[in-house]
Chains A and B, each alone.
Chain A
Amino acid sequence: MVSTIHVGIGQMAVAHSPTRLVCLGLGSCVAIAFWDHTTKIGGMAHVMLPDESCAPRRPLQSAAAKFGSSAVKALIKEMKDQGANIYTTTAKIAGGANMFKDVGLEMKDIGLKNAEAVRCSLDEHKIRIIAVDVGGTNGRTVDLDTTTGKLSIRTIRGRTVVV
């Protein structure tokens, strides 16, 4: 029986093969999936907001994974602590949709801003992005298989993509 870790909103987790890492129902949130093929260690972060300037009155206890700008760094550290080689680690990102068709402009963009912040942060840390599925209007459930590094992306409109 392969165990599954459900990564909640604003949280992150790192796991060894064959544990699966799952984010259920990503709307405007973005999932970052890390995988190191040499050690078969995977990591996942469920990002809510682009950066800390979005939360001016942010309580200090906020988890690093909540923000795109800090999630990548925190995930890299956790991957290293668990024995992964960060130079052979690649990233896949998914999510950042706009769930509410008529929502106001500021909120409409939050998904794309999240995706952009995550992408910038990955570039900054020189982590290669090998798959991207962001934007649109569909919620996504993503499931990372830490044995193969495959990320399956499912929506309710019948489309499951494996990248």
Chain B
Amino acid sequence: MDEKYVMSPLVIDALTEAGNIGAGHAATSLSKLLGEHIMNHVTKSVVVPIEDVPDTLGGGDKIVAGIYTTFAGELTGGILMLFPESSANTISKVLLNCEITGAQLTDLQNSMMSEIGNICLCWYLSAIAKMVNTEIIPTPPVTAYDMIEAAIDLPLIELGKVADTAMIIMTEFRGEIHAIEGIFLMLLEPDSLKEMARRLGVA
């Protein structure tokens, strides 16, 4: 385990709460987009070796739509939204009035997913930025529609350049009408975790 990841319960609590607030803002914007009340479950922070991240997320080769954004500034890392196959299909029906066929997103569906990520993930990040009084600059989001491990391996590769252990701040969400569900997931680089804890006044 990396030395940097030996974190006190207080630090973990503070980071979890920050993730909770970020995910709250993201869920509100997703609710407006879909015209459906999206509820967040409790945010969890988990510290695991990178190779265990897929299992932590339910693992295996089930199909997901994964929307991924990296961000830079004083905090660097990646943030993702994951929708299981059925929810991705429902969203496509609600917003575009068409289904996902042949296990492949059309250009329009791909663009729609990226735009959902753009809106929700930016709300997430801007809430965090405000809370810790810094600027976070996100890159345009990109979308993959594939097996969950394949969809999250690039984010893990990026994190893998600076760490062997990941701290995942994850929130599951669910909508009431269409039963849309998914996960918000933030992966901060070790130095950024420290910096965020410092700015939250718990380091």
The interface of chain A, by Cβ under 8 A from chain B, is: 8-11, 24-29, 48-49, 54-59, 61-63, 66, 97, 99-104, 107, 110, 138-141, 154, 156-158
Contact = CB atoms under 8 A, between A and B. Distances in A.
B150 A99 contact: yes
B176 interface: no
B21 interface: no
B108 interface: no
Contact of A59 (B61, B103, B148, B163): B163
Of the four ranges (under 10, 10 to 19, 20 to 34, 35 or more), the interface on chain B belongs to 35 or more
Contacts of B149: 9, 24-27, 139
A105 to B, nearest CB: 12
A27 B143 CA distance: 13
B72 to A, nearest CB: 12
A103 B160 contact: no
Contacts of A63: 164
A25 B148 contact: yes
A100 B51 contact: no
Contacts of B60: 24-25
Contacts of A104: 139
Contacts of A103: 68, 142, 154
Nearest to B143: A100
Contacts of A29: 153, 157
7 closest residue pairs by CB, A with B: A139-B150, A25-B149, A8-B51, A25-B147, A27-B150, A100-B142, A139-B146
B120 to A, nearest CB: 17
Nearest to A139: B150
B110 interface: yes
Interface string B124-142: 0000000000000001101
A10 B160 contact: yes
B153 A100 contact: no
5 contacts: A61-B164, A66-B160, A99-B151, A101-B143, A156-B146
B114 A27 contact: no
Nearest to B162: A57
A132 B50 CA distance: 26
Nearest to A46: B51
A61 B153 contact: no
Give the one of B50, B53, B68 with max A CB within 10 A: B50
B102 interface: yes
Contacts of A57: 161-162
B38 interface: no
B151 A139 contact: yes
Contacts of A139: 61, 144, 146-147, 149-151
Contacts of A157: 102-104
A103 B69 CA distance: 9
A59 to B, nearest CB: 5
A25 B154 contact: no
Nearest to A141: B61
Nearest to B159: A48
A43 B151 CA distance: 24
B150 A140 contact: yes
Given A8-B54, A156-B103, A48 B156 contact: yes
Interface in B52-76: 52-55, 59-61, 63, 66, 68
Contact of B114 (A102, A110, A156): A102
B111 to A, nearest CB: 9
Contacts of A156: 61, 63, 103, 146-147
